[in-house]
Amino acid sequence: MSQFVEQLPVVLSALNEGFVQTLKLFIVTLLGALPLGLIISFGSMSKFKPLSSFVKTFVWIVRGSPLMIQLLIIFYMPGIVFHNPVFGGGEEGRFAAACVAFVINYSCYFSEIFRGGIKSIPYGQQEAGEVLGLTKSQIFFRIKLLQVIKHVVPPMSNEIITLVKDTSLARIIAMQEIIWAGEAFLKGSHGIAGQVWPLFFTAVYYLAFNGILTIAFGKLEKKLNYYRG
């Protein structure tokens, strides 16, 4: 027991450090994948067939293969195949590679959610805007966007909670996120070795963070419920 009390602050500070990396990856992925997902959804709905087919195939490949493999390809391929290791070997490079992989992967998932949301808006909304003389962008931003957001918040919150847990996949390219930090105490780190509980303890971080997100999304959903339709 006294040993545990001694180790706890050391472990927590290491886990906190890892969680900061986890959080950074999470935030960068959201900031990148939300707008990119919207753009990809436009591409997949384009009336220009070559573009929409290309985008749909791309989305299919990204959604159909494991994110873990995508991480490995993006991190290692430039060095192994093209002899140009753009990401380098340090933590910064690993973080950058993870960001690229996550943004690409999640923007494809988000694009499908956006596509569903946009498709669910009745065409009458578009035409009502048109006959009032609105431009295409006014119709999108002033009429459709909020309705799309209302429709996508529930599936989006599911996907974002999955993202929180998926960040642990970055461990595969040795990005120093929270799982990596917890695992370190198995082999030995900060003078502590052979301890497995720090690794299990990382789950508390995920649970707490997802709990906060769940409450926040619930509030947002409630807020958007000021109207029906």
Partner 1 sequence: MSILEIKNIRKSFGKNEVLKGIDLSLEKGNVLVIIGSSGSGKTTLLRCLNFLEIPDGGSIAVNGETLIDTNDSSTLTDKQIRKNRLHFGLVFQQFNLFPQYTVKDNITLAPKLALKSEAAEIKKANGSSAARDYKAKRLHEIDKKADELLQQVGLSDKAESYPCELSGGQQQRVAIARALAMEPDILCFDEPTSALDPELVGEVLKVLKSLAESGKTMVVVTHEMRFAREVADRVVFMSEGVLTEDGTPDEVFDHPKNERTKQFLQSIF
Q: CB neighbours (10 Å) of residue 15?
A: 23
- What's the closest the beta carbon of residue 156 comes to partner 1, in angstroms? 18
Does 136 contact partner 1 by CB under 8 A? yes
Looking at 76-84, 111-119, 130-138, 157-165, which segment touches partner 1 (CB under 8 A)? 130-138
Spatial contact of 123 and 129, defined as CB atoms under 8 Å apart? no
- What's the closest the beta carbon of residue 136 comes to partner 1, in angstroms? 7
Q: Distances from the Cα of 168 to the Cαs of 18, 66, 81, 213, 223, in angstroms? A: 10, 13, 26, 17, 31
Q: CB neighbours (10 Å) of residue 85?
A: 15
Structure tokens at 165: 């847990």
Compute and round to an integer the Cα radius of gyration of the chain.
21
Residues 139-158 interacting with partner 1 (rule: CB under 8 A): 142-143, 146-147, 150
Q: Determine the Cα–Cα distance for residues 53 and 147; give it in Å rounded to an integer.
A: 27
Does 120 contact partner 1 by CB under 8 A? no
Binding-site residue total for partner 1 (CB under 8 A)? 23
Contacting residue, 5, 90, 131, 187, with partner 1 by CB under 8 A:
131
Nearer to partner 1, 100 or 139 (CB): 139
- What's the closest the beta carbon of residue 151 comes to partner 1, in angstroms? 12
Positions touching partner 1 (CB under 8 A) are: 122, 124-125, 127-136, 138, 142-143, 146-147, 150, 226-229
